[in-house]
Chains A and B, each alone.
Chain A
Amino acid sequence: MPLDNSNIVSAAQTKFGALKGVTLREMFSEAVDKATVDAGVPKKDIQAAFIGSFIPEMLVHQGHTAPLLMDFAGMKGIPATRHEDACAAGATALRAAVMAIESGMYDTVLVAGVEKMTSVSTNKATEALAAAADDEFESSMGLTFPGVFGIAAVAHMQKYGTTEEDMARVAVKAHKNASTNPLAQFQKEISLEKAMTPRYIAWPLKLFDCSPISDGAAALVLTSTEKAKQYTDLPVKITGTGQASASMNLCDRDDLTSFSASVDASRTAYKMAGLEAKDMDFAVVHDCFTIAEIIASEDIGFFKPGEGAKAVNDGVTARDGDKPINPMGGLKAVGHPVGATGVKQAVVLYRELLGDAGPNQVSKHDTAIMHNFGGTGATAVVNIMRRADA
């Protein structure tokens, strides 16, 4: 049965990028204010908070972040819990909130995600990110995150003939979409030639195949259907949700051209929503690397395995294509403050579904899918959302 009681009534994000002079708690507070008081939801109405943050311990030397952040945002006292599932932290926080509302325990809850990554050097941030992979068996021999996706790319290229140019086209699309998104880290189009600059990070992945290191926060308010009426005439409903896990180690996977957790989570979410990939008007997927978008587009069933690259080349996934993917610019060009990303993806769905995405608006926007995954793809969360009047 589709979920019927989970309604997003407001959603917002801070600008993503290297936000100099802005601390973790300040970013959090800004996103929360935008999603609550600025959107007509009094903070006193919030009964519990679910917060995604990946690794503030290493990035800003701060653990136990949920109460700290809520205190700064003027909301101490209510239950506040941090969720950590690497890059899927935001979406697992959202999913916990959905379960809390659907259970009837709460009527109105806050979901937020935040990460401050630029207060340490790029090498330190890379080291912190590597903690999302298996340290004893893979990271300790020098396998990096770009390396993980480089291995997936080589397997995909070998099996399906995907090329470096196909991947570069994903970057070109991301930058084009982000060029009109004032909240994006990179608001500049790039040429295919530039995207192909042979500055290798982890062959065959080059600089422009990789999402950047970013700061940022995102927040939304989730309510029961009854409560939603207090805040808006038109909420966005989460009608299906799926989560799955897979081995942390790449070497323990039979197929390196697909992420099984993404496939499993999306099938669960579609089944719950009573919908299929063909019913989706657009998708927001976890494009931490360009190859990740191509694979995700196949894993969520938008395209057959091996046909994701062709869809990019044919413009099918462009903002004005038949199946737009990441119409506001994705992780690749908007930025990837790890714990914020899953919540930010929900913010994008909310805005697009309501028709509130300005120059980045897709033409068909009744129903959509978001896909957020963590680390090496060992956690994946997929949500199906539709506008309440659709």
Chain B
Amino acid sequence: MSEKPTVEEYLKNIQDSQFKAYKCVDCGMVIAPPSGSCYGCGSSKMEWANVSGKGKLVSFTVIHIAPDEFAEETPYYIAIVELAEGTRVSARLLGYDPLKPEEVKLGSDVKLDYEDTESGKKYLAFKPA
């Protein structure tokens, strides 16, 4: 893995179940998904950061109608999760019944996981902690 993070490697890390965030070299802000410049200080110097994998559920939806590529996977959750490091990511949400979304509580503790699909593609995911 190169020292200077790239979007291609960020996406590959997820496929390899090795999620890593970006981190601003100048101010230390942890950023994911990638940004070319730091939201905190504007610097464009980035490095890789390991994350704890701990997060909180910010919001979610359950997709029932999807483009062809995802149609077989419906219904599925997509969530916004705030990582303990402060940054927020979009991810699949596992471990909850997609037909009982009213039982999902915002603010719940979740932890990093990955979802494998039949096509071999992997999604960034979270499950109840």
- Report the nearest B residue to A156, measured CB to CB: B59
Which chain A positions have C-beta within 8 A of B56?
A: none
Is the C-beta of A200 less than 8 angstroms from some C-beta in chain B?
Answer: yes
Is the C-beta of B41 less than 8 angstroms from some C-beta in chain A?
Answer: no
Asked if B76 contacts A158 (CB within 8 A), the reply is no
Alpha-carbon gap, A146 to B63, bound state (A): 8
Interface residues on B, range: 35 or more
Is the C-beta of B29 less than 8 angstroms from some C-beta in chain A?
Answer: no
Which chain A positions have C-beta within 8 A of B90?
A: 137-138, 141, 143, 249-251
Q: Which of B67, B88, B124 contacts A126 (CB 8 A)?
A: B67
Asked if A142 contacts B73 (CB within 8 A), the reply is yes
Which chain A positions have C-beta within 8 A of B69?
A: 127, 142
- Report the nearest B residue to A205, measured CB to CB: B61
Interface string of A149-177 (1 = CB under 8 A from B): 01111110010000000000000000000
Most A-side CB within 10 Å, residue of B35, B61, B78: B61
Most A-side CB within 10 Å, residue of B64, B69, B106: B64
Within 8 A of A (CB), among B14-28: none
Which chain A positions have C-beta within 8 A of B91?
A: 141
Asked if A151 contacts B60 (CB within 8 A), the reply is yes
Interface string of A233-256 (1 = CB under 8 A from B): 000000000000000011111001
Q: A200-B62, A249-B90 are in contact. Are A147 and B106 (CB under 8 A)?
A: no
- Nearest CB in chain A: distance from B31 CB, A: 9
Asked if B64 contacts A151 (CB within 8 A), the reply is no
Alpha-carbon gap, A142 to B78, bound state (A): 8
Asked if B89 contacts A141 (CB within 8 A), the reply is no
- Report the nearest B residue to A149, measured CB to CB: B61
Alpha-carbon gap, A136 to B9, bound state (A): 12
Alpha-carbon gap, A136 to B89, bound state (A): 12
Interface string of A132-144 (1 = CB under 8 A from B): 0010111001111
Alpha-carbon gap, A137 to B39, bound state (A): 17
Q: Measuring CB to CB, which residues of chain B are less than 8 angstroms from any residue of chain A?
A: 7, 11, 33-35, 39, 58-71, 73, 75-76, 78, 80-81, 88-92, 101, 106, 123-124
